[in-house]
Structure 1
């Protein structure tokens, strides 16, 4: 009888351990899944040259790694479960290894799906790729931590830029604090910056005062309802809209109070 009781107790203990193990496993799975979900929600990742829009890129990329293998500088890496993007997709961290702007852009042609689009790096009908047309990101300067804004002479980002004077230029400003020296202020041109990250890699501060972000994060969008009257393309767009708008009114006699104040100050 005692042996039967001991056996029953042993079985009960075994069942408890199994149930407890399943519970721990489930909780661990939920925690791991939550961590992955949280990491994937971070919308900050730099893609190779020629990458199409992010929402389309993650659908088109088949995680083959051909672009990663083609990069001669080991700039590109494939995302892991801990990465802040879709697992298996190519990306790079500019602070660690930037894009060195290869003129032949070897990482783009191997892409079999068009996730990296050669046409985005071509000028009109040219068959030659131009790495200077890449839009991997846009460098942004933190004026609070950039020592150049303190009056300390530093042009590390400017010197590292492969498009010096076009993508990054230096502007001089009078130092009112000392009255003797000039500030040498770095400025980034959104039109020319390729997002290669060489500036971020070269930055002398402990955490980079200049950092490359995806262009969609920092560029903004003005909205199609804004019309730049001085822009010929926008004027054409406005005229085209008037042609298709059945309910548009003739506003040719309306006063432009923003740009034409003559009628506001005439004597009756």
Structure 2
């Protein structure tokens, strides 16, 4: 008997060349990259929504936040005229504030080195203004009781600063870290040798701000926040009893505070013991 014939063999698949395999892999990775980019851009659209309530310290004379955002055309004129480069433009993580000017006072505060608040003079739309137009409300606690006195102009015929409202208020956020409250002094560079922030020092040059690191201190009791505040009677050291009944010399923020942030910039402890709360209102 004849043996059954072997079943016909299937033709072998042609071998895939290395070049074709690499091409297919590149195409796959390209598709994955495109898909990731589309998803990423979609999620990026939520950034303005997520950060819409992120509060930034605005330059002096800024309108209330919603009015400011709708009035500012992001031209950058205020940035150009600031003598200490305190004003920066918002990045993508600022959401609806993208391209809008703000101040990070820990890195560089507004010390009013220009005397005339040049950012207001440079603003073409009134987003920064010396006085709000009558149809805009002034929030209770934002209006200053009197024109603030600029220490640098104390000997001038007109010593006040042309501001009607504050943009924030300084707060003692970490009293336990405050050197004055601990009864300690301070010696050296307020923020270290690497810090690039600038200020004007009247005993050096009224019109030329210098790096803070170039002006070291030797203080028996730290009072940097009071000493360097550019506004008269905005902050002072007072003896205050703590919860345990111990009297400590304590920085006390007063009504003339405009929220410039100099106290925050010069505070030598990390994190800072005193900070400016943007858009905060004065409460007697």
Q: Give TM class, smaller chain.
A: 0.5 to 0.7
CA shift for structure 1 position 30: 4.1
Q: Name the CA shift for 1:29/1:162 in 2 (closer, same or farther; >3 Å).
A: same
User: Which residue in 1 is equivalent to 2:34?
Assistant: 22
Q: Does structure 1 retain, via aligned residues, the 8 Å contact 2:48–2:96? A: no
Distance in structure 1 (CA, Å) of the matches to 2:87 and 2:95: 14
Q: CA RMSD in A?
A: 3.7
| Residue 89 of structure 1 pairs with residue 96 of structure 2 | no
Report the counterpart of residue 182 of structure 2 in structure 1: 150
As a proportion of its length, which structure holds more strand? 2
- Return closer, same or farther for 1:85/1:149 CA change in 2, 3 Å cut-off: farther
Q: What does the per-residue CA deviation read over 1:94-153, in whole Å, with 9 as the maximum and x for residues that have no partner?
A: 1111111232111102212111122259989xxx98345451210000223223233333
Query: Deviation of residue 37 (structure 1)?
Result: 5.0
User: Are residues 137 and 18 of structure 1, via their aligned partners in 2, closer, same or farther at CA, if it must alter by over 3 Å?
Assistant: same
Q: Distance in 2 between matches of 1:15 and 1:77?
A: 42
Alignment of 1:92-111 (within 5 A): 92-101=103-112, 102-111=114-123
CA deviation vs aligned residue, 1:72-103 (integer Å, no higher than 9, x gap):
22111111214476111111111111111232
**Alpha-carbon separation, structure 1, partners of 2:95 and 2:177:** 25
Higher normalized contact order (CA 8 Å, seq sep 6+, divided by chain length): 2
**Consecutive unaligned residues in structure 2, runs of 5 or more:** 1-10, 133-142, 148-157, 185-220
Aligned to 1:236: none
Within-5 A mapping of 1:51-90: 51-83=62-94, 86-90=97-101
Separation in 1, partners of 2:245, 2:123: 55
- Show structure 1 runs of 5+ residues with no match: 223-268
Aligned pair partner of 1:211 in 275, 278, 281: 275
More helix by share: 1
Which of these residues, 146, 154, 167, is aligned with residue 136 of structure 1?
A: 167
C-alpha displacement of 1:57: 0.5
Matched length: 212
Distance 1:18 1:93, change over 3 A: closer
CA pair 149-85 structure 1, distance change in 2 beyond 3 A: farther
Tell me whether 1:184 sits opposite 2:249 in the alignment. yes
Distance, in Å, in 1 between the alignment partners of 2:240 and 2:20 is 86
